[in-house]
Structure 1
Amino acid sequence: MSEDNSNLIHVYLDDGDEPIVSYRPPVRFELDTTQLEDGPHTLKVVATDASGHKGVRTIPFEVRNGPGIDVEGLQDNDMLEGKVPILLNAYGGAKEPFWEPSRAETPAPVPTWAWVLLLVVVAWSAFYIAQQWNAPDEFASSPTYSLFTGEGEYAQPAGEAPSRSRANIGATLYRTSCSSCHQGNGEGVAGAFPPLAGDPVVTDEDPTRHIEIILFGMQGKAIEGVEYSAAMPPFAKQLSDEEVAAIINHERTSWGNDAPTVTAEEVQKVRAEGD
């Protein structure tokens, strides 16, 4: 007695001649893709009714049980020239239930625009803090932050050595406004920024020219036969009379210089004459 093949469902995989399963409908079965290679496959279902007529349905599918692969530097149908750097990463997989998530994070360089934005934010923040920050009230009158003494006067009379607090203020202002060019030791930079140690203008008994240079700037001046090409910027708008006096007094009493000091009133007079 022959086997009745009518009203059956035969399931074929890829180009196989023999069905992987044959059942009478309805049927539910499990396709084990772990036994298949990753890539495209085809499932063909052939159903036969009682009269012997066949219906065929082909279902293409793709298996991906192996590690996922990430490619940086190359995309489908790219046209390439020369040497192309390519970064590959693989992660996960059906047979790897406990995999490290960090493997899925393909490393990539920080984009240039992000670095530029960061630098702009940092520069703006520094500028804003420098312009807007004020010392707390409890420190505002200390020598570190205050430009005035407790009596409300800043600069000492001409010819007198500056007090410790005034000298500290002058040194601080010099460091923040002048030392990047003239250097902390007052030696300057050869051919660019003149030295202040022993400079005839700084050691002159008459401080007028010294005050004028700090207030109004200078460029292209030969000092003792040496040409200095870099420009000295004017500080009239950035510094008060008291601040200019403090810087001048620091320069006239430092690095071996021993010249008479100045007062804020002298600075104010030169400023008014130059306006």
Structure 2
Amino acid sequence: MTKDRSSVFLFIDDDAKPLAELKTPIVFDFDTSKLTDGDHVLKIVSKSPTGREGIRKINFTVKNGPSISVEGLNEDDVVDGILPLMINAYDKGNQKSFVIEGSETPQTIPVWMWIIMILIVGWGAYYLITYFSGLPY
């Protein structure tokens, strides 16, 4: 004796043709690499064995392309003159192996870090001078 199961139809954005028609319960590998980068909607339409329907919409953003990092210009900055920009674009590549080269964005050292390093070096120099100046020769 087989029991009737609900069916689900998966739609992307406003497509009239479903991405998949499946019987529940299911595990579905949703391949976003075939979608363009940007905002999308996954619409799931379910039909019960009695003929009733349910709909659920899930908004999501696809970002399969290379990540782009920009240093030197932020959103809504007011700028003037020449701007030195550092731009890097890197991809996830093969997700089965990790590649270090190009996967990290180099960044300049922030001013607060320089101040901390100068304070530490200054304190160390002061300590050494006061420690060794008190020793008899």
Under a length normalisation based on structure 1, what TM-score does the superposition of the two structures give? 0.39
Q: Judging changes above 3 Å, is the alpha-carbon distance between structure 1 residues 124 and 25 closer, same or farther for their aligned structure 2 residues?
A: closer
Q: CA deviation at 1:14?
A: 1.6
2:37 pairs with 1:42: no
Question: In 2, Cα distance between the equivalents of 1:53 and 1:19?
Answer: 18
The structure whose Rg is larger is 1
* Cα pair 1:65 1:94 within 8 Å, conserved: no
2:104 pairs with 1:105: yes
Structure 2 residue runs of 5 or longer lacking an equivalent are 1-5
Question: In 2, Cα distance between the equivalents of 1:13 and 1:112?
Answer: 47
Q: CA deviation at 1:35?
A: 1.7
Give the 3-state SS of the residue equivalent to 1:55 in structure 2: strand
The answer for the alignment partner of 1:88 in structure 2 is 87
2:99 pairs with 1:114: no
Question: In 1, Cα distance between the equivalents of 2:96 and 2:66?
Answer: 11
Structure with greater helix share of residues: 1
Structure with greater strand share of residues: 2
Higher relative contact order (CA 8 A, sep 6+): 2
Q: CA deviation at 1:93?
A: 1.6
The answer for the alignment partner of 1:61 in structure 2 is 60
Supply the AA of the counterpart residue of 1:42. V
- List structure 1 segments (4+ residues) > 4 angstroms apart after TM superposition: 94-97, 134-137
Q: CA deviation at 1:97?
A: 4.2
The answer for the alignment partner of 2:73 in structure 1 is 74
Structure 1 residue runs of 5 or longer lacking an equivalent are 1-6, 141-275
Q: Judging changes above 3 Å, is the alpha-carbon distance between structure 1 residues 122 and 29 closer, same or farther for their aligned structure 2 residues?
A: closer
- Aligned pairs, number: 131
Q: Judging changes above 3 Å, is the alpha-carbon distance between structure 1 residues 50 and 133 closer, same or farther for their aligned structure 2 residues?
A: closer
Supply the AA of the counterpart residue of 1:62. T
The answer for the alignment partner of 1:187 in structure 2 is none
